[in-house]
Structure 1
């Protein structure tokens, strides 16, 4: 159950959206559009948006670039999370992660099961953290992007969400780098 503590002030998060596709352009990118619109509608900032081919090294390079950018707090990618030979987004994400958020995949599967039944087993959606930046790999369908945002990410990226959320632990994501 999601609860918002109205006594807390909303804190906007700066997102980048990456669409992984061998065939789409920005004008045809319905999944990227879905994420961008939801990010802005929630009061957050769309800091960057790109499309990249299904190439593991290229995807990882953009993720690393965004993780090094202090103007980006979180990255949402869409596409390339399936089972085909060209689906390499998950592998690229895992090349970058310092820590994986295993429960994201589980919760996303539960949400998907309610919408598409056992077909949810074909998604390899995942999440992680690198260089103080959250990264999530979502399937390439607008419906899956809506489900991930509306049911999970919208709440976790709202500082007012109780009992806890991703925003409140931003300052602690890199505490392992502090001197002792």
Structure 2
């Protein structure tokens, strides 16, 4: 698919990766590792990485801490976006966002629908801006992470960050 205004930017984006899970560890966090690998492959910089329990206060505390990091542009979260009782990521992040990017969630669910069918409606993937940082929240499955990163985030991350820096 062609872009209406092809990106000629070659900037490296400073990123943080946050996995939200009650069960994952550094050794078992395949989705967090995948996000980092995909970022590095596109010459972006991973400045921080954390695993946080699916507790709203802990999620918000981590995002607030990262938002204060001067050399950070984007926070990429994964996990906790469903509707199970322990899935609180969307609720915690959505309350912090100063601006939302509704198209991100809409497009993510559309692309997911093409892969997994109607179950895609249960995803509460969300993106927006908090304290001049882009925040993306993806489901925790590696397939969902790959889809969101390759089809939505990586193609637009440089453009979105350049817009934030204006």
Q: TM-score, normalised by structure 2?
A: 0.95
Specify the structure having the higher radius of gyration (Cα).
1
What does residue 170 of structure 1 align with? 164
What does residue 175 of structure 1 align with? none
Secondary structure at 2:127 match in 1: strand
What does residue 118 of structure 1 align with? 118
Q: CA deviation at 1:2?
A: 3.8
Secondary structure at 1:166 match in 2: helix
- Pairing of 1:10-159 with structure 2 (within 5 A): 10-158=10-158
| Unmatched segments (≥5 aa) in structure 1 | 159-164, 173-180
Asked if structure 2 preserves the Cα contact closer than 8 Å seen for 1:82 and 1:139, the reply is yes
Q: TM-score, normalised by structure 1?
A: 0.87
Q: CA deviation at 1:171?
A: 1.9
Hey, what's the Cα distance between the residues in 1 that align with 2:146 and 2:75? 16
Asked if structure 1 preserves the Cα contact closer than 8 Å seen for 2:73 and 2:161, the reply is no
Deviations along 1:114-136, whole A, 9 cap, x unmatched? 11111101100000101110001
Runs (4 or more) in structure 1 with deviation over 2 Å come to 1-6
Q: CA deviation at 1:111?
A: 1.0
RMSD: 1.4
Secondary structure at 1:149 match in 2: helix
Deviations along 1:49-88, whole A, 9 cap, x unmatched? 0001010000001001111111110001000000011100
Hey, what's the Cα distance between the residues in 1 that align with 2:54 and 2:67? 19
Q: CA deviation at 1:9?
A: 4.2
Hey, what's the Cα distance between the residues in 2 that align with 1:131 and 1:45? 20
Aligned length: 165
